[in-house]
Amino acid sequence: MSPRTVNWGALRARRDGEAGEVEGLRERKKRLMRQQLSDTATEMFVERGFDAVRVAEIAEACGVSEKTVFNYFPTKESLILDHPDTALAALRADLAEPGVSPVEAVLRILAEERAAVLSWLAEQDDPAEAVTKSRRFGLLIATTPALRAHRLEMTEQLVVVAAEALAQRSGTTPDDPEPRVLATALVALWQIQFRSMAQHLDVSRTPEAVEEAVAADVGRAAGLVEAGLEALPRFTA
């Protein structure tokens, strides 16, 4: 059966595998349980509303204890917004890679995330239902104060990690204005991608057409950030 939500854990596992860290049986079981919890929670939240579903109900539906749920997800909000660990690890690693500009590093991460979303869509038996589910998911995030606040917190975490990596590349500190501003601009590309995906994702477009349209939007925004970096060459070294 196709996953009901995008499997960010699989993306992390693939990255770890490329880095030489082969996923063991225990790690695979944990990843699959995490995905089951997130899938089930997302389905229940979208159907009934975030505030109407208790964590105990999600645990019961998955055949585990409420404590087990919180062993995997520290908060109720993180059950549905479950990819920040993957994004943080990717951002920390890719921004530290020698010879790769900060913009190029972020574009690579965003391309991987687009591929994960579009692969999920391509796996669904009913494309129209999948697009509807995706739109309902976005609406749930936009209309739930707790989830909007959690997403802002996730964004700030990305900015902090990006600022630290940029400061290390440039010999500055994360609290200096330059790495902080650049980090904020780089992380804003995630929001550009999210909005572009919501705009272009519909049943009339193939996944390939969506990829082309979203990549173009993100690329235009990235060009603005790249232009700003030209004035600060030490951050690209």
Alpha-helical regions (H) of 19-83: 25-48, 55-62, 66-72
Residues 44 and 5 grouped into a single domain: yes
Tens-place pLDDT, residues 17-35:
555 556 688 888 998 999 8
Q: Is 0.85 surpassed by the pTM of this model? A: no
CATH code for the domain in which residue 139 is found: 1.10.357.10
Residues 123 and 70 grouped into a single domain: no
> How far are the Cα atoms of 127, 142, 152 from residue 67, in angstroms, in the given order?
36, 28, 26
Residues 227 and 209 grouped into a single domain: yes
CB 84 within 8 A of CB 154: yes
> How far are the Cα atoms of 34, 62, 94, 166, 212 from residue 91, in angstroms, in the given order?
22, 32, 5, 11, 23
Tens-place pLDDT, residues 146-182:
999 999 999 999 999 999 999 998 888 999 999 999 9
Q: What is the pLDDT of residue 225?
A: 93
Residue 48 above 80 pLDDT?
A: yes
**Tokens matching residue 58:** 């999600």
- Which class for 129: exposed (0-12), middle (13-18), buried (19 or more C-beta within 10 A)? exposed
Tens-place pLDDT, residues 90-109:
999 999 888 899 999 999 99
Residues 226 and 170 grouped into a single domain: yes
Residues 65 and 169 grouped into a single domain: no
- For 131, the 3-state DSSP assignment is helix
Residues 132 and 43 grouped into a single domain: no
Residues 142 and 225 grouped into a single domain: yes
Alpha-helical regions (H) of 101-232: 102-123, 127-143, 145-170, 177-200, 207-229
Residues 134 and 198 grouped into a single domain: yes
Residues 128 and 219 grouped into a single domain: yes
> Domain range spanning residue 12?
1-76
Mean pLDDT of 9-16: 55
Alpha-carbon gap, residue 59 to 33, rounded angstroms: 11
Q: What is the pLDDT of residue 2?
A: 39
Q: What is the pLDDT of residue 107?
A: 96
Q: Single out the residue in 44, 76, 108 at which a domain terminates.
A: 76
Q: The tokens 């999210």 sit on which residue? A: 194
Q: How many CA atoms lie within 13 A of 11 on its CB side?
A: 25
Cβ neighbours for 196, distance < 8 A, ≥ 6 positions apart: 213, 214, 217, 218
Residues 104 and 164 grouped into a single domain: yes
Q: How many domains does the chain have?
A: 2
Residues 177 and 145 grouped into a single domain: yes
Q: Single out the residue in 76, 96, 122 at which a domain terminates.
A: 76
CATH code for the domain in which residue 64 is found: 1.10.10.60
Residues 88 and 5 grouped into a single domain: no
**Tokens matching residue 15:** 């990255």
Alpha-carbon gap, residue 155 to 151, rounded angstroms: 6
Q: Single out the residue in 22, 50, 76 at which a domain terminates.
A: 76
